Structure 1
Amino acid sequence: MQRFIRPLFFTALASCCAGAFAATPNDQAPHGRLPAWAVPQSYQLAFKVDPSQAEFSGVTTIKLDLKQAADHVWLDGADLRVSKVTVTEANGSTHDAKYVAAAPKEGVARVDFGATLKPQQLSLTFTYSAPLNQQLQGLYKVSHAGVPYAMTQMEPISARFAFPGFDEPGFKTPYDLTLTIPSDLTAVANTRQINETAAAPGWKTVAFAQTRPLPTYLVAFAVGPWDIANGPDIAPDDYRSEVLPLRGVAAHGEAHRMQHVLSETPSIIHTLENYYGFGYPFGKLDLLAAPDFAAGAMENPGLVTFRDWLLLLDPDSPAQYVRGSFNVTAHELAHQWTGDTVTLAWWNDIWLNEAFATWMQQKVTMKVHPEYRADLDRVSGAEKAMQNDSLTSARTIRQPITGNGDIQTAFDGITYQKGAAVIGMFEGYVGESTFQKGMRAYIQAHKFGNATASDLVDAIAAAAGQGGTFKHAFDSFLDQSGVPYVQAKLEQKNGKAVLQLSQDRYLPFGSTGNTNRTWGIPVCVRYGATDGVKTSCQMLDQSTGSMVLPDAAAATWVMPNADARGYYRFSLGKQEWAELTRHIGALNDKEQLAYADSIDAGFRKAQWNAGEAMAALKPLTSVATRDVVVAPLDTVEWIYRNEAVTDAQRARVVAWVKDAYLPRMQQLGYQRKPGENSADELLRSELANVLALEFKVPEVRAALLKQGDAALAKQADGHLSLDAANPDLLGMALAVAVQERGKPAVDTLIAELPKTTSPDLRNAMLTGLSAVEDPALADQVRDFALSQQVKVGEMAMILRGSHATPAARNGLWTWFTGHYPQVLARTGSFAGGMLPGLVGGGGCSKAEADRLQAYFAPRLKDISGADRGLAQTREQTLLCAALKSRQDPAAILR
């Protein structure tokens, strides 16, 4: 037990009652979850916020259930200057307590009561002040057009920067919020405003309705001269009896650009309500375009916040922004059910939020905008996750949490895309309607509370009439890392075609991991039959198995991942690969993506040489579907960057690319066409980018340079003529101009960026600056990235553009190690874990891996979560070096 100097009254209280209850806990500052013997019941939050100032003040009252006798409680608070803590006991008596920052780096604090209190319902009231955060977390300060705003981002563990509390998802309570703000500003929050009163001269106090039970990470509000645009009210339906008010919130002068996303939102809400059989429960819905933001968007109930370019759209906005806007909006609104209505109990189950929102977003998009091909996004997203999941340092979907760093690095492709792919795989196994029945039961059983992975899997299993085998199969993907590798070999037995199957863990060449691992895999195979094409499925839950293919043709072809529904890679014998390649046109486009991924997987295992891989991938470049057309590029770019070492080898790769893609680029042209679909606009952008900036094809660069020069021309008002370029190609055009024109182009863009508030134009200019190749200019641009003219959330756009060549990576490394303190000062805890990859990504030599390890290892104490980022970036670098040493560059010319 810790000793404290107690006032006489409290000593007497403790003495008289000591025999009536247990001794106070004898514990140390928690480094993970807070103890469960003190549980919050509700919060009253009062803030005084002026965005023009450096600090804010607050008063927080927490009603608390003290479940056992204690002389202290543990809670969370970071960078808070607490001037007073008052304890109000169940009998109404009050006395002062002491706030102690017990573990400042982790944001853990202790409140000492001054006496041992018996179990009871009590209240803690904190009076404090704190800085408006400069790293986009907690209650932070941003600016737009030189005007300050204050807003929140609490996830994952940043509420502790805004108010003292129990900053964990399992503690879910209602909140009452009041904001005292300058009289000429506007405030928005999770719930509707219910009152406004005058405060001190020049100030007003705004009160908001009590929230539904929420964890701290979903509390949200914003203060500033916001513009508010009313959207269409969302009509009642079978699951919601009240009209749902919809608004768009943006920085001053910008809300008119939100009409497109507001017009799309009712269809998203209705689709989600119809799927879950449960009406949107949070009373009102505001979508806020944040002037600066660490994440893409955040699902705060009633006040969903986004990076501004996702919401501020014009009629000529790039197709990638329009599609991205819908997809991200669908994702965040899906969270209103999975994440907000039902919340994970602890961060090891963050996939219950993010994987399900990703999976549901794709279902919504396929229903409302089938032309966006979210079914292909599912496949390509899973395949990107497999690249990370092939590392021995990959995390599991359901990742044990050992500290704050594990929480902060859990928001990755494993949680989002792998999780969504696994959900989709088991949805396909039990059937969509059955899976929906399970999801509805899960939401109803845990609404406004918390849930675990077992709760979800049990609900699906019950709906499907499945037992332990199904649960074990599902858990095998949740609780172990890695990509299953299904090897298939076709045999003829007793006049029947039999597919012999085996599984282990996929590992690329050079990996030190153990391949001995099994999953419960729903394997579905499509094959050529005597009367067409058929599909056969079975659960492969042992290391080997077999599957009879009824009515298979004598010389059949086999696609071992039908509809690319399964989260696994596959391998075939040489004859089976040859047959599958010959029948590439018989595959649907999802299967063609799976084919491309498994060719790439074989190449990275050194089972294919460069020439063989390029030949096997070439047929995909002539299909109609955009996603499939560009699928070979990751493999071919790797060969060009890392394997092609002579002029002849590099010329051979460029010739392959030109033959595959230049005719399509010329057909598309460099300007939009009347009535053109968005898929063609996206393909034009993707091909222009790879042909001009990766493979430096002269005719494509010339066309883009013409647009870049036009965009850099000064208008009469002194601004650039950025609208002179095709909006879809503006960033690439500026990139080519920077590379060809050098310092004049760089200086022009650096001068223009601070004068530009439009987020899409800023993004294009940052893309141009990130492409600089001259070493001196590259350092100039990186120095600019550290200035206040570049937003915190924009800085990485510049730095990640320096990975293409060893010279560029060396230049970035030298600059970074000379500016480490400045970079660290601008990145918050949410982004810190990404630093090793940001400055060390793309490496392909042991020397690069070694310098990364030597530099970051002693600095891990400075950067929460960077240990995982370091391990994965180092492993990727060593694997690249191993494959490079194994491959024979001469094979490129064969």
Structure 2
Amino acid sequence: MEQKQGIEQFKGQARLPNFAIPKRYDLHLKLDLSACTFSGTVQINVSIVEETKFLVLNALELDVHQVWFTNSHGQKYHPCDVVLDGDDEVLVLVFDKALGIGEGVLGVDFSAVLNAHLVGLYKCAYMDGEEKKNMAVTQFEAVDARRFFPCWDEPALKARFKIALDVPSELTALSNMPIINEKCDGDVKTVSFEESPIMSTYLVAVVVGLFDHIEDTTSDGVKVSAYCPVGKSDKGEFALNVTVMTLDLFSKYFSTPYSLPKLDMVAVPEFSGGAMENYGLITYRETELLFDPLHSTAARKQRMAIVVSHEVAHQWFGNLVTMEWWTDLWLNEGFATWISYMATDILFPEWKVWSQFLQYTTGGLIMDALEQSHPIQVEVHHARSVLEIFDAISYEKGSAVIRMLQAYLGDDIFQKSLSSYIKRYSEKNAKTEDLWSVLSEESGLKISEMMDDWTKKQGYPVISVTAKDHILEFEQTQFLSAGLHSEGKWIVPVTISLGSYERRKNFLLETKSSEVDISDLVDTSDTNLKNKETCDEQLWVKVNIEQSGFYRVKYEDKLAARLRKAIEHNSLEATDKFGILDDAYALCEACELSLSSLLSLMDVYRKEADYIVLSKLIDVCYNIVKVSSEAIPDSVNELKQFCIKSPHVSIRVSSIMLR
């Protein structure tokens, strides 16, 4: 009875008990791809930090055959009870005698089936000539390392990993670290890998299959390889080149070299996501790694560069420095998304990917304007629920608020802060607040106070702007697409340009309303500005320069008219033209701007040639006609004609209107 009550204390717990801490895993796995099974032995060096009769770790869908514990004095203990709890995904080991404080080794023999669910260690098919064969791949994030071997499957419980695999001798076996030994015994070979540095269980990876590969080396001597389906290694060349360039770029950006001796990329035929940043062994869906210069589109090439940069960035931000718990996964993903665009822009400036970033983050603006939205930071009580939480808010809003902070602080302070953060928490775990703390130290600003508004609160503001002479008046309220009014307040990093990108100003809007004097931006020696009409035309005001902030802007009629002229005269960057149109449509949809005002704005985009801006214009045209066909059916034909007038969009819009 006492033993049963003891086990009950571990049921329904979000986290593992902390009386034992893993330090090192020695894992030997035997893989049978014909029977689709695997078996193995794991020996885990643990520190017992509190006397206990229980060891509790994670295991799921594993058969446990034998368990033992050996303490530092060589005494061996066998548990009197071994309980596998599928609901809580734990393995509870009960001992007759308490295990004393100190070091020891826990050994477990286990086996399992290679599943077909794309999680844990799973099987997928590939073609070997005309024959269909099985290969094995791992996918552990967030909580599926426990399907591969018994382990303390939490990101904060980092350890070192020594892995050996028994696999068919004709296949390639890969893991996080380089191979140190291969020993053949007939049709089977044992492949042993170097011991890894300290890392989290969700980043452990194994791939066994048949591949061709190509390789290159970074300026620091890191070997980079792309493993592709047989006969398609040439299609991995672009991803390989981008990986080499981004490894060099991030080593300099973070002032910290890549921490492993190699980085492999593998194209996997069946994969649940786009890619996974396993330490030293990034797995990709085939379409995200293979590029054919003759048949792949330009859009595919650009997406591939962004995806590769994202996964390589994780080798620092996520792998070297890891979130303490899944609540902070947003920071890993939001940061990697932001910096993947930054890296792609540096490597391929002609693509103008920051314009595409706005297309990407629009989904976050739309979702976060709903009453049913949620904050970026959501408390994750059970690790398996993390996948339900991560959506457009986490990724798109997350990356957008990081970009907003970077734009406000400036490139130099932001980069210096990130370098300090990586150095301070290297091989450790960190929380969101730890990054804010480092940024505060470097900038001298209260970053946590500002950013908590954006990460712990749902929604975002719309900022109304009016002008009286050289005074701009700002007022913020929460923006809701349903048109409802809310009294939300944020600390908003506002950026302003006045008549030129050379004349700009930054300030923090910390209250519901505020006034800003922009007379210092007006060049009184400019004779053109002494004429009121010329002044009004030339001194347009653009708030949220390049749409770097995660908020919307509503201009009074006078300021909106000046911006229309600026768009007509092609005085604005594509990012700002996109943002003005996107904000205006959202405001119109929320009944905060009249349809006639939106149409007046759209009218000045008739000569627009930028792809991203045109895409937004087409979307707006389509949505207006779609809504109007139900709301004001008598005006639909006129609206269709209005949309079709633009020479750049007429063909596309005409085809939409005919549906």
Matched position secondary structure for 1:231: strand
Decide whether the 8 Å contact of 1:52 with 1:149 is kept in 2: no
Matched, 1:160 2:146: yes
Superposition TM-score, scaled by structure 2 size: 0.91
Show the counterpart of 2:525.
none
Decide whether the 8 Å contact of 2:123 with 2:135 is kept in 1: yes
Within 1, Cα distance between the matches of 2:101 and 2:602? 68
Match of 2:496 among 525, 529, 532: 525
Match of 1:289 among 249, 264, 267: 267
Show the counterpart of 1:413.
392
Show the counterpart of 1:54.
36
Show the counterpart of 1:266.
244
Decide whether the 8 Å contact of 2:142 with 2:384 is kept in 1: no
Show the counterpart of 2:305.
326
Show the counterpart of 1:502.
475
Match of 1:628 among 613, 620, 624: 613
Amino acid at match of 1:541: E
Superposition TM-score, scaled by structure 1 size: 0.68
Matched, 1:540 2:509: yes
Matched position secondary structure for 2:216: coil
Matched position secondary structure for 1:504: strand
Matched, 1:476 2:445: no
Deviation at 1:545, TM superposition (A): 0.9
Cα 1:140–1:640, aligned 2, differ >3 Å: closer, same or farther?
Answer: farther
Amino acid at match of 2:305: F
Cα 1:77–1:615, aligned 2, differ >3 Å: closer, same or farther?
Answer: farther
Could you give the per-residue CA deviations for residues 361-419 of structure 1, whole angstroms, max 9, x where no partner exists?
12211111001212213333332211111123323222211223541134333222222
Matched position secondary structure for 1:620: coil
Matched, 1:122 2:104: yes
Matched position secondary structure for 2:645: helix
Cα 1:542–1:39, aligned 2, differ >3 Å: closer, same or farther?
Answer: same
Within 2, Cα distance between the matches of 1:524 and 1:322? 33
Matched, 1:607 2:573: no
Show the counterpart of 2:203.
218
| Matched residue count | 636
Gaps of 5+ in 1: 6-23, 237-242, 666-686, 698-894
Could you give the per-residue CA deviations for residues 616-635 of structure 1, whole angstroms, max 9, x where no partner exists?
23433532321111113333
Could you give the per-residue CA deviations for residues 60-102 of structure 1, whole angstroms, max 9, x where no partner exists?
2222122112221222111111122222222212232243222
Deviation at 1:465, TM superposition (A): 2.4
Show the counterpart of 1:825.
none
Within 2, Cα distance between the matches of 1:654 and 1:307? 41
Show the counterpart of 1:805.
none
Matched position secondary structure for 2:317: coil
Decide whether the 8 Å contact of 1:180 with 1:205 is kept in 2: yes
Matched position secondary structure for 2:495: strand
Show the counterpart of 1:789.
none
Deviation at 1:359, TM superposition (A): 1.6
Amino acid at match of 2:203: L
Within 1, Cα distance between the matches of 2:373 and 2:33? 41
Cα 1:50–1:432, aligned 2, differ >3 Å: closer, same or farther?
Answer: same
Further displaced range: 288-297 or 387-396: 387-396
Amino acid at match of 1:357: A
Relative to its length, the structure with more strand (as a share) is 2
Deviation at 1:269, TM superposition (A): 1.3
Decide whether the 8 Å contact of 1:231 with 1:263 is kept in 2: no
Decide whether the 8 Å contact of 1:48 with 1:57 is kept in 2: yes
Within 1, Cα distance between the matches of 2:350 and 2:359? 16
Cα 1:351–1:335, aligned 2, differ >3 Å: closer, same or farther?
Answer: same
> Within 5 Å, which residues of 2 pair with 1:124-143?
124-143=106-125
Deviation at 1:210, TM superposition (A): 0.6
Within 2, Cα distance between the matches of 1:656 and 1:134? 53
Relative to its length, the structure with more helix (as a share) is 1
Deviation at 1:207, TM superposition (A): 0.6
Match of 2:282 among 304, 307, 330: 304
Deviation at 1:615, TM superposition (A): 4.1
Gaps of 5+ in 2: 523-528
Show the counterpart of 2:464.
487
Could you give the per-residue CA deviations for residues 518-560 of structure 1, whole angstroms, max 9, x where no partner exists?
111111122238xx96222210111111111225565343222
Deviation at 1:695, TM superposition (A): 4.3
Match of 1:573 among 544, 556, 563: 556
Cα 1:662–1:522, aligned 2, differ >3 Å: closer, same or farther?
Answer: closer
Cα 1:410–1:212, aligned 2, differ >3 Å: closer, same or farther?
Answer: farther
Decide whether the 8 Å contact of 1:271 with 1:364 is kept in 2: yes
Amino acid at match of 1:528: G
Within 2, Cα distance between the matches of 1:51 and 1:410? 35
Cα 1:464–1:635, aligned 2, differ >3 Å: closer, same or farther?
Answer: same
Matched, 1:425 2:404: yes
Matched, 1:278 2:265: no
Amino acid at match of 1:266: V
Show the counterpart of 2:135.
149
Deviation at 1:249, TM superposition (A): 0.8
Show the counterpart of 1:400.
379
Match of 1:67 among 39, 49, 57: 49
Decide whether the 8 Å contact of 2:360 with 2:396 is kept in 1: yes
Could you give the per-residue CA deviations for residues 340-378 of structure 1, whole angstroms, max 9, x where no partner exists?
111111111113311111121122111110012122133
Within 1, Cα distance between the matches of 2:303 and 2:284? 11
